[in-house]
Every structure is written in C-alpha cells, then in structure tokens.
C-alpha cells in the first residue's frame, strides 16, 4: 500500500487490494470512508463554534500542535483567564505537576497528579507529543522537551511530554491574556540578546 493521508485511504486502497480479498475488505473500506466523512463534518462544526462563540481560540491556535478541539477545550475549561493570579498556576490547576510524597529527606519523582480536567490534560499531552515529534518545528517548547528527554532514564520521553504540556498550558494562558503574536523562539532570542549586551 502506498502512503496516503487517512482521509483519502478508502479512495486509494481499492486499486491495491487483490481481487480475492475484495469481497471481505470492501465493507471495511466503506466504513472507513463513512467515518472519515463524519470526522470532517465534526471538524467543520468545531471550526464554526470556535469562530462564532470563542474567537479567542484563534490566539491559542497560533501554537503549532494546538488545534480547534484543544483550544476550545482550554477556553471552556478555564472559562476566565483572569481568575488565575499568574499563568504559571494554570499547569497546577490542570494537574500537570507531579504528585508529592515527601517523607523526611525523601522526595521521589511521582506521576502527575490526578487533579484537573482529564480531557484537557490528555489533549495538551497530545499536543506536546506533536511538538516533540520528528516533524515538529523548532520552538522553545520543543527545545525544553528535548532537554528533558536527553537526560535519559526510565520514562524520559513521557516526562518530557508532560513537561511540555505544562509549559504549553502556561503559554496558552499567557497568549489568551496578552493577545500577542506567538513567537516560537522568543526565549531563545531573548537570551541571545542578553548575552550580546
């Protein structure tokens, strides 16, 4: 089978299926085609909701890897960006911080807490995986995740994705408040200017 996007798979696959398998696979291809069309319809509806009812989602979608669903879920979950004293507190509110289990001198690294909206947390981690993927563009978020992943150790990539998701939540809140144009390498450029001065 040649490579092709999922949305066109059901159209391109038939010419590569042997005749002996056609009777068994035709219903599956029809189902894939039907599901692809329904997904396209839902995507169009999401776009309409974003444009008509939550135009602020456009600010968040400047960040590569943040789509309509993630932006809309973020806005609807937080409701009002001014309810947080600082953007940094958004990560903790969403549960994107490790749970604590301190005892004496021990403070082991644990999984993220079970606080916060599970769907939004999952969407932000998905966006983080996109940012860290081989096809992701260079950005401060990506560099932060790569630095954490490079430390190695057990579950380094998972920790990196959660760390990027936490930073992403802070960034999205900040963009929502400031309505600024997103600069993917803003911190990198700022540190270079500081070194040159």
- In the chain, where are the structural domains located? 6-46, 54-196
pTM of the entire predicted model: 0.80
Count Cβ atoms below 10 Å from residue 26 Cβ, excluding itself.
Answer: 12
Tokens of 48: 């309409």
Query: How would residue 107 be classed by pLDDT, with cut points 50, 70 and 90?
Result: very low
DSSP string, 29-86: HHHHHHHHHHHHHHHHHHHHHHHHH-TTHHHHTTSTT--HHHHHHHHHHH--GGGSSS
pLDDT in tens, 162-179: 999 999 999 999 999 999
pLDDT at 66: 96
Which of 9-13, 38-42, 63-67 has the lowest average pLDDT? 9-13
pLDDT at 111: 54
**Please, are residues 149 and 160 in contact by the beta-carbon 8 Å criterion?**
yes
73: closest CA among 41, 116, 38, 114? 116
**Please, are residues 178 and 87 in contact by the beta-carbon 8 Å criterion?**
no
pLDDT at 115: 75
């Amino acid at each position: 089978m040649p490579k092709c996007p999922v949305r066109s798979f059901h159209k391109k696959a038939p010419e590569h299926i042997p005749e002996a398998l056609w009777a068994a696979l035709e219903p599956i291809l029809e189902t894939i085609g039907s599901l692809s069309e329904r997904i396209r319809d839902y995507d169009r509806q999401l776009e309409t909701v974003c444009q008509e009812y939550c135009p602020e989602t456009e600010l968040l979608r400047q960040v590569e890897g943040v789509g309509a669903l993630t932006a809309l879920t973020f806005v609807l979950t937080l409701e009002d960006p001014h309810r947080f004293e600082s953007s940094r507190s958004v990560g903790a509110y969403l549960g994107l911080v490790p749970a604590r289990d301190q005892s004496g001198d021990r403070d082991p690294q644990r999984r993220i807490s079970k606080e916060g909206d599970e769907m939004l947390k999952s969407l932000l981690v998905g966006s983080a995986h996109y940012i860290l993927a081989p096809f992701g563009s260079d950005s401060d978020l990506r560099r932060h995740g790569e630095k954490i992943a490079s430390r190695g150790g057990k579950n380094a990539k998972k920790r990196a994705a959660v760390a990027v998701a936490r930073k992403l939540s802070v960034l999205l809140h900040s963009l929502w408040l400031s309505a600024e144009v997103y600069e993917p390498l803003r911190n990198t450029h700022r540190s270079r200017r500081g070194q040159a001065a």
